[in-house]
């Protein structure tokens, strides 16, 4: 878990406090959506925020309910609940066009949020996006464990604690599948994916590119890139992509 840093609170309609950081500046607003069990203090989110501050651009970082500094019980969260939280924060904290940047599971949320944003969506950048991971990311045995026991734990290569998948999140994902339909998004989309990614197959980005309605879609494959894409060269590629999509 990343170290906490200064943040503000967005008060949800039910009183739950969601943590966020915001940089004021020229639009479109860059909104970073972290991956599963990740948060706004991660390296890629911080790099985007620092770039935005240095270049006078508007940026929004956030922690989903039950993650990072936000309140809430992680075990009760769902994909659609997080989607609604992101939409509420974008609506309540930003004006005008938005560029969504989604990492891993945040790439799935990016698509769900993007469809809902409509004309406000100015662009999207996916970093090893993982839409539909409930469909391709588990074996039948693991699915049965999730549905019968309510949770499945997997080895976590990025930390000491195992990674849980809870039944509510799994069922929410299964009800939000996207890759086998047209995704009604028409803005510029850039997808960055490492071909050495052991968590999300890089061919998912190719399938996503085909499913998007937009014709302005580019997939960049990094032959030796892993899932995190957090090396200096990876971050440089991300920031140059942000600059392109944001119109710098």
Helix (H), strand (E) at residue 92: helix 79-93
Active site residue 216: no
- The first and second tokens of residue 130, run together, are 């993982």
Cα distances from 186 to residues 123, 159, 183, 209, 215, in angstroms, run: 9, 37, 9, 12, 7
28 upstream amide cis, omega within 30 of 0:
yes
* Backbone phi and psi for residue 104, each to the nearest 5 degrees, phi listed first: 55, -120
Q: Are 20 and 68 in contact (CB under 8 A)?
A: no
Active site residue 197: yes
- What is the gyration radius of the CA atoms in the chain, in angstroms? 17
Q: Which of 104, 172, 176, 205 is the catalytic position?
A: 104
Active site residue 227: yes
Tokens 């290569």 belong to: 157
Q: Which of 39, 63, 132, 197 is the catalytic position?
A: 197
Q: Which of 103, 205, 227, 234 is the catalytic position?
A: 227
Q: Are 104 and 124 in contact (CB under 8 A)?
A: no
Q: What angle do CA 175, 121, 207 make, to 5 degrees?
A: 50
DSSP class of 138:
S
- Give the total residue count for the chain: 248
Q: Supply the residues annotated as catalytic.
A: 104, 197, 227
């Amino acid at each position: 878990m990343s170290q906490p840093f200064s943040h503000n609170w967005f008060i949800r309609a039910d009183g739950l406090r969601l943590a966020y950081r915001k940089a004021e500046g020229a639009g479109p607003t860059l909104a970073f959506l972290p991956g599963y069990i990740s948060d706004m203090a991660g390296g890629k989110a911080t790099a985007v925020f620092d770039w935005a501050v240095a270049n006078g651009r508007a940026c929004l970082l956030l922690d989903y309910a039950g993650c990072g500094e936000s309140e809430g019980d992680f075990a009760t969260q769902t994909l659609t609940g997080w989607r609604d939280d992101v939409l509420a924060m974008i609506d309540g904290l930003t004006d005008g066009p938005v560029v969504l940047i989604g990492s891993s599971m945040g790439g799935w949320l990016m698509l769900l949020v993007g469809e809902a944003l409509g004309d406000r969506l100015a662009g999207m950048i996916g970093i090893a996006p993982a839409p539909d991971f409930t469909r391709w990311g588990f074996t039948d045995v693991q699915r049965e464990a999730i549905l019968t026991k309510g949770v499945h734990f997997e080895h976590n290569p990025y930390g000491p604690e195992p990674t849980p998948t809870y039944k509510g999140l799994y069922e929410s994902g299964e009800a939000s599948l996207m890759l086998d339909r047209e995704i009604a998004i028409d803005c510029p989309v850039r997808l960055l994916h490492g071909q050495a990614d052991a968590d999300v197959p890089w061919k998912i980005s190719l399938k996503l590119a085909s499913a998007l309605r937009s014709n302005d879609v580019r997939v960049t494959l990094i032959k030796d890139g892993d899932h995190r894409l957090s090396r200096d060269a990876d971050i440089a590629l991300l920031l140059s992509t942000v600059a392109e999509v944001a119109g710098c």
